[in-house]
Amino acid sequence: MGIPAVDPHTGSPLLRLGARLTGNTPGRWLTRRVAPRVDRRLLRWSRGRLSSAVVTPELLLIHTGAKTGRRRTTPLTYFTDDDRVIVVASNYGGSRHPLWYYNVLAQPRVTISAGGYTGTFVGQEVSGTERARLWDLATAFIPSYADYERLAGGRTIPVLAFTETR
């Protein structure tokens, strides 16, 4: 896999600091409303090497709109699990799933760019014990996810795994 590996077991003080900064209403607003707009351009310009989320690994998910058929680009935090890229459809703790989640379910073949690499992947939602295992890794790696789960109310936050196709 050409996407840079990200071990979710290796947290850092910077990740904990980032979780504290985004763990409040103004921080969530910035990460939800401002960062994605900046990151689309910054990640493209730097070929996936630089984003506003300095403390978390970011990728660009290029997917097709389920209703419109238009290509969409969404910056997301990720980690890897063996040969899979793992992303969490947290929507910053919102009450609804993010739109990109529905797009991937409808058309799972996507393009992912990160760390100077771009490849074609197929995504699928994980469930059961595999979801529980990956969710535990995600919340240990990015502590904000636990807060997002609480904020989401009764919504189960989806975890998606992407496998590269050759």
Q: Is-contact 97 166, C-beta < 8 A?
A: no
Higher pLDDT, 43 or 12: 43
User: How many domains does the chain contain in total?
Assistant: 1
Q: Is-contact 89 159, C-beta < 8 A?
A: yes
The residue with tokens 């197929």 is 122
Is there a domain that residue 84 lies in?
yes
Whether 1 shows a pLDDT value over 60: the answer reads: yes
Q: Which domain holds residue 124?
A: 13-164
The CATH number for 74's domain is 2.30.110.10
Is there a domain that residue 155 lies in?
yes
pLDDT in the model for residue 10: 75
For residue 87, which phi and psi values (nearest 5 degrees)?
-130, 155
Is there a domain that residue 40 lies in?
yes
Is there a domain that residue 146 lies in?
yes
Q: How far apart are CA 103 and CA 40, in angstroms?
A: 18
Tell me the average pLDDT across 8-24: 64
- Cα 55 to its chain centre, rounded Å, is 14
Whether 108 shows a pLDDT value over 70: the answer reads: yes
What is the tens place of the pLDDT at every residue in 124-161? 999 999 999 999 999 988 888 888 898 898 899 999 99
User: pTM of the full predicted structure?
Assistant: 0.78
Q: Is-contact 152 93, C-beta < 8 A?
A: yes
The residue with tokens 């890229």 is 85
